[in-house]
């Protein structure tokens, strides 16, 4: 059983296209589209959203992703009307990036709150933040006051596949880590966040420095290292 | 005058007529500062409400308003769908299954409708939205009840007049919510379409009771 996803967009094509894109990276996750109005116009329809929520019920919870203004309001209205609102969470995230991140997390077996977090973690990961976070991490380490104990396992692995770190490898790493009880940092960013991994923009020949904490730290390190050394199964 | 389910059905029928009559005007208001679909959406939404009312034949005012809420949320398409849908839904909840509405519960329902719009759209007074019609309307309705002389018709008239004044008062405002807010200063000098349609809806409630 996995968390299921519902996409609410003003446009049927956007909703269907986003579902198609996310399904490529998360083939086992149920993702339902509720785009456009019932008569095929641009807009959102409570009927369509309620029907998608109905079909999505019965799993381990539902995370809803939306696009602009009235899509959010229609989704919120639907949440007021569903029979079991507790298992349905509305993610405040960019539709496409948030959906892909949520789908990867759901594919990896994350629970409903973690799937919502994965979607929302996409926010604020612009280039500025990506550049700033390793610097921040370094300064706290030298002061040695705020950080916890060092990682349980570390390793360095060179990217050998032609395309380096792109969407599919990032999805594989983040997706697999979601089901392990470990905190993993890859070159200073959260290894469970597909978007953070992509923002590393690490090409072929780059070295990934992996740090892992927690009960599954060794497995997590072996998992990531194995994927990288195998070139993610790519040329 | 008794506000029962027959009044509610007359009200919603007059709403549908008003939206059909003012469809082009609302489209023009929305074209100036929005995406020009408000008149079209409201007309379509209330026509669908009429069909549902004929099919379902609700037995209380609350039931008629709930049916309206669900239909508007499913058929309008734009932001007005969930906003008006929430307004009618909260009003319906406030009225419960009462067969007739007294002045006090009428004012409570109008306040609940306004609160629903604010909760859903997160707009405040002065943002140039339908809240600028609904807040004065809800407050005028409460005032009409508070002075002890308020009949249901008196409460409806007070609400409609306050909504109309509130809608006119959106003309000089700069939008801070919704699609019009993208225009910034250029949104001033135009009436907010949502405030305009809100005033039409509350005026129709008077017409149904007259």
* pLDDT tens digits for range B63-103: 999 999 999 999 998 899 999 999 999 999 999 999 999 99
- The pLDDT of residue B124 is 95
Q: What is the mean pLDDT of residues A201-206?
A: 90
Confidence of residue B3 (pLDDT cuts 50, 70, 90): very high
Contact A46 B78 (CB under 8 A): no
CB B116 within 8 A of CB B130: no
CB B169 within 8 A of CB B157: no
Residue A181: how many CB atoms within 10 A of its CB?
11
Position with higher pLDDT, B140 vs A130:
B140
Strand A88-90 and strand A31-35: the pairing is unpaired
- The pLDDT of residue B178 is 86
Scan for tokens 């926010």, then name that residue.
A123
Q: What is the mean pLDDT of residues A180-184?
A: 89
pLDDT at A125 over 80: no
- Give the residue from chain A lying closest to B87, CA to CA: A77
pLDDT at A78 over 80: yes
Q: What is the mean pLDDT of residues B121-146?
A: 96
- The pLDDT of residue B143 is 96
Is B5-209 a domain of CATH 3.20.20.70?
no
- Give the residue from chain B lying closest to A48, CA to CA: B74
A residues 53-92 near B, CB within 8 Å? Answer: 69-70, 73-74, 76-77, 80
pLDDT at B7 over 90: yes
Confidence of residue B106 (pLDDT cuts 50, 70, 90): very high
Largest CA distance in chain A: 61
- Interface membership of B112 toward A (CB under 8 Å): no
CA distance A79 to chain B (A): 12
pLDDT at B14 over 90: yes
Q: Which value, in Å, is the radius of gyration of the alpha carbons in chain B?
A: 16
pLDDT, tens digit (0-9, with 9 covering 90-100), for A9-36: 999 999 999 999 999 889 999 999 999 9
Provide the b/e sequence for B2-24 (b: ≥16 CB within 10 Å).
Answer: ebbbebbbbbbbbbbebbeebbe
- The pLDDT of residue A210 is 94
Geometric angle at alpha carbon B47, from B20 and B36, rounded to 5°: 55
Question: What is the tally of helices (H) and strands (E) in chain B?
Answer: 9, 0
CA distance B155 to chain A (A): 28
Position with higher pLDDT, A10 vs A130:
A10
Q: pTM of the prediction?
A: 0.77
- The pLDDT of residue A46 is 94
Task: Express as a percent the part of chain A with pLDDT over 70.
Answer: 89
pLDDT at A212 over 60: yes
CB B27 within 8 A of CB B36: yes
Cβ-Cβ contacts under 8 Å, B77 against chain A: 37, 41-45, 70
Q: Where are the domains of chain B?
A: 5-209
Q: What is the DSSP letter of A8?
A: E
Q: What is the DSSP letter of B59?
A: S
Position with higher pLDDT, B157 vs A82:
B157
- Interface membership of A37 toward B (CB under 8 Å): yes
- The pLDDT of residue A142 is 37
pLDDT at A130 over 50: no
Q: Do the interacting molecules here have an ipTM over 0.90?
A: no
Position with higher pLDDT, A120 vs B115:
B115
Q: What is the mean pLDDT of residues A106-112?
A: 88
User: Which positions of A are catalytic?
Assistant: 10
3-state secondary structure B189-203: CCCCHHHHHHHHHHH
């Amino acid at each position: 059983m996995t968390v299921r996803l519902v996409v609410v967009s003003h446009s049927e094509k956007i909703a269907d296209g986003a579902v198609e894109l996310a399904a490529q990276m998360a083939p086992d996750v149920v993702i339902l589209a509720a785009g456009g109005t019932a008569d095929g116009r641009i807009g959102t329809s409570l009927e369509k959203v309620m029907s998608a929520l109905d079909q999505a019920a019965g799993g381990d919870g539902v995370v809803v992703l939306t696009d602009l203004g009235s899509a959010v309001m229609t989704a919120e209205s639907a949440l007021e009307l569903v029979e079991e609102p507790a298992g349905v969470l509305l993610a405040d995230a960019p539709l496409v990036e948030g959906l892909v991140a949520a789908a990867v997390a759901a594919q990896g077996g994350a629970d409903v709150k973690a799937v919502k977090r994965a979607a929302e973690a996409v926010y604020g990961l612009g280039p500025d933040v990506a550049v700033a976070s390793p610097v921040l991490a370094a300064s706290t380490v030298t002061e040695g006051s705020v950080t916890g104990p060092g990682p349980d396992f570390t390793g360095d692995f060179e990217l050998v596949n032609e395309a380096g770190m792109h969407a599919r490898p990032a999805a594989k790493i983040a997706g697999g880590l979601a089901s392990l009880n470990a905190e993993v940092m890859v070159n200073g960013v959260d290894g469970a966040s597909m978007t953070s991994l992509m923002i590393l923009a690490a090409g072929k020949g780059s070295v990934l420095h992996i740090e892992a904490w927690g009960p599954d730290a060794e497995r997590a390190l072996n998992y990531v290292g194995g994927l990288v050394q195998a070139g993610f199964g790519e040329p | 005058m008794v506000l029962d389910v027959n009044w509610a059905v007359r009200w919603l029928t007059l709403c549908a007529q008003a939206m059909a009559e003012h469809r082009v005007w609302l489209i023009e208001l929305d074209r100036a500062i929005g995406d020009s679909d408000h008149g079209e959406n409201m007309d379509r939404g209330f026509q669908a409400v009429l069909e549902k009312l004929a099919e379902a034949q609700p037995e209380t005012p609350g039931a008629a308003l709930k049916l309206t809420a669900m239909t508007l949320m499913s058929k309008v398409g734009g932001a007005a769908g969930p906003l008006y849908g929430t307004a009618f839904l909260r009003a319906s909840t406030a009225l419960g299954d009462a067969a007739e509405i007294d002045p006090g519960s009428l004012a409570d329902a109008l306040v609940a409708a306004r609160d629903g719009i604010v909760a859903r759209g997160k707009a405040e007074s002065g943002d140039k939205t339908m809240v600028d019609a609904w807040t004065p309307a809800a407050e005028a309705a409460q005032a009409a009840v508070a002075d002890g002389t308020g009949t249901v018709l008196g409460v409806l008239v007070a609400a409609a007049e306050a909504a109309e004044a509130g809608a006119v008062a959106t003309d000089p405002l700069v939008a801070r919510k919704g699609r019009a807010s993208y225009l910034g200063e250029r949104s001033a000098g135009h009436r907010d379409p949502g405030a305009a349609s809100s005033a039409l809806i509350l005026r129709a409630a008077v017409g149904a009771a007259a």
